[in-house]
Amino acid sequence: AQSVTQPDIHITVSEGASLELRCNYSYGATPYLFWYVQSPGQGLQLLLKYFSGDTLVQGIKGFEAEFKRSQSSFNLRKPSVHWSDAAEYFCAVGGAGTALIFGKGTTLSVSS
Amino acid sequence: GAVVSQHPSRVICKSGTSVKIECRSLDFQATTMFWYRQFPKQSLMLMATSNEGSKATYEQGVEKDKFLINHASLTLSTLTVTSAHPEDSSFYICSADRRGGYNEQFFGPGTRLTVL
């Protein structure tokens, strides 16, 4: 079955500390992988995406993610978290021309 | 960049009425559009896939007679929630798949539906 697992429901990180959000996927074809961020009551904002090529992907707002095929993972990282990063983060997988399958999301809280 | 709009952004209606939500790709053509639903503090769940000029494909458990989807042009898909009830209250998000290349899907800002 095709699925995305985000093992961490809620993470709290101190401002200025590093962040890693985990994402594992199960997909039968070549996966296209995405990370989105959503603030309360808002739509989705694309942070980064992986289609092919370099497995380390740079995104907006200082985020990066690394695709590891052998581990079926696409973890999101940021070296130094800002209070404005507090939001809901969704990992998603899809194929060419198909709908995306989303994980359940990870809520990020940032403490001062 | 590619922009997808949704209208309205927020709607409140009485139980039993119908509500239409529009999803438009503003600067590209979208052969395929997708409709998702998001309950509070939950993830997005695919409701249906909408292809221009053909009937929508609904996911299991989604009532096609309740959630009417029309994709009349390459830039417009509409979702009509018929005879809405409070349990239909949710955040509805569309995405449009830009023709060609990778799976370049662009999401609309969402529509918050509240049924009283």
The pLDDT tens digits of the residues spanning B62-89 come to: 999 999 999 989 999 999 999 999 999 9
Nearest to B103 among A41, A90, A94 (CB): A94
Q: Which residue of B has its CA nearest to A52?
A: B102
- Is residue A44 within 8 Å of residue A36, measured between CB atoms? yes
- Interface residue A31 vs chain B (CB under 8 A): no
pLDDT in tens, A2-60: 999 999 999 999 999 999 999 999 998 889 999 999 998 889 999 999 998 999 999 99
| CA–CA distance, A59 with B58 (Å, rounded to integer) | 33
A 41-80 residues with CB < 8 A to B: 41-44, 46, 51
Q: Which residue of B has its CA nearest to A42?
A: B109
Q: What integer pLDDT is reported at residue A21 of this predicted model?
A: 98
Q: Check B112 against A94: CB less than 8 A apart.
A: no
Q: What integer pLDDT is reported at residue B103 of this predicted model?
A: 61
Selected for mutation to probe chain B from A57, A98, A107, A109 (highest B CB count within 10 Å) is A98
How far is the alpha carbon of A91 from chain B, nearest alpha carbon, in Å? 10
- The average confidence (pLDDT) of chain B is 92
CA distances to A38, B8, B61 from B22, in Å: 21, 7, 22
Percent of chain B topping pLDDT 90: 75
- Is residue B79 within 8 Å of residue B23, measured between CB atoms? yes
Q: Check B93 against A44: CB less than 8 A apart.
A: yes
CA distances to A76, B19, B47, B81, B111 from B78, in Å: 34, 10, 13, 10, 12
Question: Which chain B positions have a beta carbon within 8 Å of A104's beta carbon?
Answer: 42-43
How far is the alpha carbon of A2 from chain B, nearest alpha carbon, in Å? 13
Q: Check B103 against A104: CB less than 8 A apart.
A: no
- Is residue B67 within 8 Å of residue B83, measured between CB atoms? no
